Amino acid sequence: MQMKKILGLAAIAAGALTFAQPAAAQTACVAGPFMVFFDANSDTITPQGAAILDNAASAYRTCGQAEVMIAGHTDRKGKDDYNVGLSQRMAANVRAYLAGRGLPDGVMTTEAFGESRPLVDTADGAAEPQNRRVEITFGPGSGW
C-alpha cells in the first residue's frame, strides 16, 4: 500500500512539472523611417508609394500599439502656404491608407512641414523629387 501511495504521489508530482517551452521568435519593431515620394504638385499615392506603405503596415504589426508619426514635406517650388497645405493633404492621404491597412487611427499623428525641412537643400523655387515626401516612423520619441 505504501508503494502505491508513493507511486501515486510521484505521478501527481510529475504531472505538475512543466518544462519551459522555447519562446517564439519575436521580430523587433522596425521603426522606420518609411519614405513615400510624390509627384510634383500631387497628393496622390503612387503604386511605388503604396508598396512602401504596405511594407510599413506590415512592419507596424511588430511594434504593438506604438505611436505613428506621419510627416508631410514638399519641395521649394510654389508658395509657402500652398506647400504647407499640399504637405498636409499628402500626410492625410498616407494616414487614410494606413488606417485602411489596419493601423488604429488613434495612434497616428500627422504634421505638415511644407518646404521647411528639405531632405535635399535647394534654392527657393526649385523642384526636387526627394523633398516631395511623407515620412512615417513608429514608437515613442519618433518623428519630428
d(CA 20, CA 16): 13
Q: Is 40 helix (H, G, I), strand (E, B) or coil?
A: coil
Share above pLDDT 70 across residues of the chain, in percent, rounded to a whole number: 78
pLDDT of res. 64? 83
d(CA 27, CA 140): 18
pLDDT tens per residue, range 88-143: 999 999 999 999 999 999 999 999 999 999 999 999 999 999 999 999 999 866 65
Mean pLDDT of the residues in the chain: 85
Domains of the chain, each with CATH number or no CATH: 31-138 (3.30.1330.60)
pLDDT of res. 110? 97
User: Which grid cell sits at 111?
Assistant: 504634421
Could you tell me which residue, 2 or 53, shows the higher pLDDT? 53
Sign of the Cα pseudo-torsion (70, 74, 80, 82, in order):
negative
d(CA 27, CA 29): 6
